[in-house]
């Protein structure tokens, strides 16, 4: 490691430190609406988008079913834990939450199993089909999922007299989960597992020849991303207080893709950047285009980003930074390693 990258790494640490302090201090200068509706929701959707970033940016598998996993985790939470549903088991949160996350992770692994033997655009097709089928299933099934109405009365627990439904405690719970998920993903992509995953993304045949079980590697990535999305899904169910088919609908599935792509798929922070932009647009689009045409606006933003900056806003940001520093266009990837392009044999 040369001296320049050390300096850059140290400036990165300063950046992270200030970011964390700002996030921790945020509730002290923001009102409840900004803490809960904007802050907490951005962190939750950012986590679900982060799971997509891991799959798409580092595994080369653009999965549209991450929202389905998150939504199913919410459903499972309502079915295992305390809720208004008659078919609910009414277990204590300490059992219900892990059970919901584990079951949703198993579902994610199964979805992964279905899609990993195909590549590229097939993954989008299959995960979209699987996700839409999930939506129609929870909408049509009344015995377990209560059909169109969904399940309601999902409340976060009260621990040591702190009610986690209150905006500020809920924000801190979301922040804790989001930071843990972020740190986890950042260390995962630098671990041998993550490096091998990127190798599989770039050249599956070569990785296979090196002895990696690429299908298993991809399925495990689906499981890990599923666990992240499921955690976000539990928080989202607490945030809304209910789960309904709309939560796993096509619009919601595409929203997660839009968030991840707007932010940028080539860095774990992208999902969170995209989520903040998306939530701000959602809440304040009324002033721009009227609340009815929000999806038109978001569709256009997504369109422009995909066409002009495939790396999202992070890509735009780094382009501006590069231009400001008058540095030659660095051919480095996010890990600071030189990308060596070798043609496929």
Partner 1 sequence: MKIHKRKVSAIVYLIVLALFATFAAWAITDNKNLFVTVSMNGLTIAALYFLVAIGFTLIFGLLKNVNLTHGSLYLLGAYLGYTVADLSGSWLVGVAVGTFGVGIVGFLLQVLVFRHMQNQELQQALVTIAISVILADLMLWGWGSDIYQLDPPDWMYGAVAIPVIGKYSIYKLFILGFSISVGLGLWLLLNKTYLGVMIRAGVDDQQMLSAMGVNVHVVFALTFAIGAAIAGLSGVIGGSLMSITPGEDTRYLLASLVVVIVGGMGSIIGTALGAILIGLSEQYGLAYAPTYGVIFTFIIMAAVLIARPQGLLGRE
**Residues within the interface to partner 1 (CB under 8 A):** 62, 113-115, 117-118, 120-122, 124-126, 128-130, 132-133, 136-137, 140-143, 147, 250, 254, 257-258, 261, 292-293, 295-296, 298-300, 302-303, 306-307, 310
CB of 113 to partner 1, least distance (A): 7
Cα angle 65, 67, 68; round to 5: 65
Q: Which is nearer to partner 1, 57 or 81 (CB)?
A: 57
CB of 287 to partner 1, least distance (A): 18
Cα angle 163, 169, 172; round to 5: 150
CB of 139 to partner 1, least distance (A): 9
Cα distance between residue 339 and residue 337, in whole Å: 6
CB of 256 to partner 1, least distance (A): 12
The CA–CA distances, whole Å, from 124 to 24, 198, 300 equal: 37, 18, 20
Q: Which is nearer to partner 1, 68 or 231 (CB)?
A: 68
Q: Which is nearer to partner 1, 76 or 164 (CB)?
A: 76
Those residues whose C-beta lies under 8 Å from the C-beta of residue 166, and which sit 6 or more positions away, are: none
3-state helix, strand, coil in the chain (%, to 5): 75, 5, 25
> Which residue intervals of 39-117 are DSSP H helices?
41-53, 66-80, 93-115
Q: Which of 155, 337, 318, 304 has its CA nearest to residue 241?
A: 155
CB of 12 to partner 1, least distance (A): 29
């Amino acid at each position: 490691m040369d001296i320049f990258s050390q300096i850059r790494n140290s400036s990165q640490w300063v950046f992270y430190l200030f970011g964390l302090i700002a996030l921790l201090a945020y509730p002290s200068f923001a009102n409840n609406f900004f803490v809960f509706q904007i802050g907490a929701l951005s962190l939750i959707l950012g986590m679900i988008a982060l799971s997509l970033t891991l799959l798409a940016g580092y595994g080369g598998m653009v999965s549209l079913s991450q929202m389905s996993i998150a939504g199913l985790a919410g459903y499972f939470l309502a079915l295992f834990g305390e809720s208004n549903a008659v078919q609910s088991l009414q277990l204590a949160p300490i059992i219900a939450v892990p059970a919901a996350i584990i079951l949703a992770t198993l579902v994610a692994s199964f979805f992964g199993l279905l899609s990993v033997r195909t590549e590229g655009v097939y993954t989008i097709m299959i995960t979209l089909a699987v996700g839409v089928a999930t939506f129609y299933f929870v909408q049509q099934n009344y015995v377990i999922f209560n059909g169109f109405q969904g399940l309601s009365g999902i409340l976060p627990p009260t621990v040591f007299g702190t009610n986690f439904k209150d905006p500020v405690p809920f924000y801190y719970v979301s922040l804790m989960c989001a930071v843990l998920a972020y740190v986890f993903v950042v260390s995962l992509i630098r671990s041998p597992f993550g490096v091998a995953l990127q190798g599989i993304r770039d050249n599956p045949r070569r990785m296979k020849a090196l002895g990696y079980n690429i299908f298993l590697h991809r399925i495990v990535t689906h499981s890990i991303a599923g666990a992240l999305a499921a955690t976000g899904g539990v928080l989202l169910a607490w945030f809304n207080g209910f789960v309904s088919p709309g939560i796993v609908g096509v619009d919601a599935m595409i929203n997660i893709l839009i968030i991840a792509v707007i932010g940028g798929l080539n860095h774990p922070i992208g999902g969170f950047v995209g989520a903040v932009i998306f939530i701000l647009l959602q809440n304040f689009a009324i002033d721009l285009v009227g609340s009815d045409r929000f999806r038109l606006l978001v569709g256009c933003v997504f369109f422009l980003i995909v066409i002009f900056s495939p790396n999202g806003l992070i890509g735009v940001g780094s382009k501006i930074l590069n231009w400001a520093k008058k540095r030659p266009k660095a051919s480095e990837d996010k890990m600071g390693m030189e990308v060596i392009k070798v043609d496929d044999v």
